[in-house]
Amino acid sequence: MTSPDSSPAPSPDGSAADGPPSLHGPEFAADPEGVYRLLRAHGPIAPVELSPGVPGMLVTDYDVALEILRDQVKFPRDARRWQQGIPPECPVLPIMAYRPTCNLTDDPLRSRLREAVTDTLDQVDLNALRTFVERSADHLIDQMGPLGEADLRTEYALVLPLLVFNELCGCPAELGERMVAAVREVLKWENSEEANMTLGLAVLELMALKRENPGQDMTTWLMDHPARLTDEEVAHQIVMLVGAGSELVQNLIVNTLRLLLSDERFGGELSGGSLSVEDALDEVLWTDPPLANFGVSYPVEPLDFHGVRLPADQPVVISFAAANNDPATRAEDRAGNRAHLSWGVGPHACPAQGQARIIATIAIEKLLDGLPDMRLATPVEELTWRPGFIQRALSSLPVRFPPLPAQAPPAGPDAVAEPRSDEPETPADEAPAPEAPARWWRRLANWWGGDAD
């Protein structure tokens, strides 16, 4: 039997350490697989430091991860007991703290929230979604094409999911940009408490707008669902969808483009090779999933589990990246194999994985078609990864390509508005949120900030 106290895990350089390995900082971001390899030597679950002074247990074994993800009884998702001992300025708190969402709660609340989210997603017209992604991608490619160079992260993969989110949620461009910018700040873990409040207030503003002017969009459908979600519950489901629909889809697109542009098995795709974009997406979901470590649970009492002592009320984090690449289960040829854990498994599996895959696939295919002679502008080994244990995210993806002729700006109903904060575009049938928020809006803002009872 091992425990965090009796048998500390090795440090990232392979030597014994007084404390567990760190999952924060640039060293981990540069070589997470090196840390996972050392942790596997410690057992299927090993102690780590999630943030300065914040311990946790990381699951690196595929079969053990499956067992935990499927067991809501021993491994509940409610973080409230844990977060009582975490200082409010802790940078991971806004990400890991309890929210009444279908991925961070337990039954019976989980089932009720999950029903509302899945029913809402089921109302999305997938053909209309494909058309909108294609049109938005063409618009962005037309902007980049004449320049002959671009950062595919900031100029393409970051913008495209935002445009799609605005469309699906009935969100004015400026407000959507504010929300996604706040998500990015939270995931940077710098000023994350302030960014969390900014995100919350922006979501509440969207809800106020939709309350005054309902439409055929996910925000309205959530607010009107027969499950009768409270205002707080609606707000948090939107936050969940914003995070998954912007940051994680962005990372999936960027990580897959990196693979296509650097790996000779896939590089032929740019000129009619044998492996498809779908194969590349599956490879990334196995090897570099955009959500690298999450699926956090909090045992309510100490557990002896697979030879490891798990403390009560301490985070047990699933390493999707490490478990997917567990040497005990890894196959040489995984083309077409989608048994990875990157969308989650069991009752908390991602409800929007179908929509996310559609967005990523179309975004990549349109880019490869529009810029067929694209090449990396920086050697792949010199690309840098953003710090943080939760996401696997490049800082940039610079490319060069032969410049394309400039395109005339689109006009008419098919034009795609850019998400510019200095030139907000509010649909004519949507009145702006009132300057003085209604009582429910103020109450909900106070609740989000922790000031309400």
pLDDT tens-digit series, residues 47-66: 999 999 999 999 999 999 99
Using one digit for the tens of pLDDT, what is the confidence trace for 380-400?
Answer: 999 999 888 998 999 999 999
* Chain-centroid distance, C-alpha 158: 12
pLDDT in tens, 132-171: 999 999 999 999 999 999 999 999 998 999 899 889 999 9
Strand spans (E) along 185-250: none
What value does the mean pLDDT take over residues 421-435? Answer: 39
Q: In the block, which residue shows the tokens 């005054």?
A: 212
At residue 411, the pLDDT reads 53
CB neighbours of residue 172 within 10 Å: 21
**pLDDT tens per residue across span 104-140:** 999 999 999 999 999 999 999 999 999 999 999 999 9
Phi, psi of 81 (to 5 degrees): -65, -40
The pLDDT of residue 379 is 94
pLDDT for res 434: 38
CA distance linking residue 96 with residue 81, whole number of Å: 12
The answer to whether residues 220 and 214 touch, using CB atoms and an 8 Å cutoff, is yes
pLDDT, residue 438, reads 43
Domains in the chain with CATH codes: 1-79+294-341 (3.30.43.20), 107-291+352-383+394-448 (1.10.630.10)
Highest mean pLDDT among 25-39, 60-74, 252-266: 60-74
pLDDT in tens, 161-209: 989 988 999 998 888 888 877 777 766 655 566 777 878 888 899 999 9
How far is CA 209 from its chain centroid? 25
Query: E strands within 193-258?
Result: none
The two three-digit tokens of residue 228, written as one number:
């009768």
Burial code (b: 16+ CB inside 10 Å, e: under 16) for 64-100 equals: bbbbbbeebeebbbbbeebbeebeeebbbbbbbbbbb
Mean pLDDT for 277-291 is 91
Give the whole-angstrom CA distance, residue 85 versus residue 96.
13
> Is the model's pLDDT at 18 over the cut of 80?
no
Query: Could you give the 3-state DSSP secondary structure of residue 308?
Result: strand
Mean pLDDT of 311-321: 97
Q: pTM value? A: 0.84
Decide which of 412 and 30 is more confident.
30
**Is residue 88 predicted with pLDDT exceeding 80?**
yes
**Amino acid identity of 35?**
V
- Going by C-beta distance under 8 Å and a sequence separation of 6 or more, which residues neighbour residue 165? 171, 176, 179, 180, 241, 242, 245, 246
Cis link prior to 302 (omega < 30° from 0)?
Answer: no
pLDDT, mean over the chain: 83
Question: Is the per-residue pLDDT at 413 higher than 60?
Answer: no
Query: Measured in whole angstroms, how far is the alpha carbon of residue 5 from the centre of its chain?
Result: 32
Instruction: Say what the pLDDT of residue 332 is.
Output: 63
Mean pLDDT for 222-251 is 90
pLDDT recorded at residue 189: 56
List the beta bridge partners of residue 402.
none
Banded model confidence at residue 2, pLDDT cuts 50, 70, 90: very low
Q: What is the mean pLDDT of residues 94-107?
A: 91
Neighbours of 260 (CB within 10 A): 26
Residue 11 pLDDT? 46
Whether 423 shows a pLDDT value over 50: the answer reads no
Looking at residue 335, what is its pLDDT?
61
Identity of residue 190 = E
CA-wise closest residue to 359 among 135, 143, 103: 135
The CA–CA distances, whole Å, from 442 to 392, 435, 447 equal 36, 12, 9
> Is it the case that residue 439 has pLDDT exceeding 70?
no
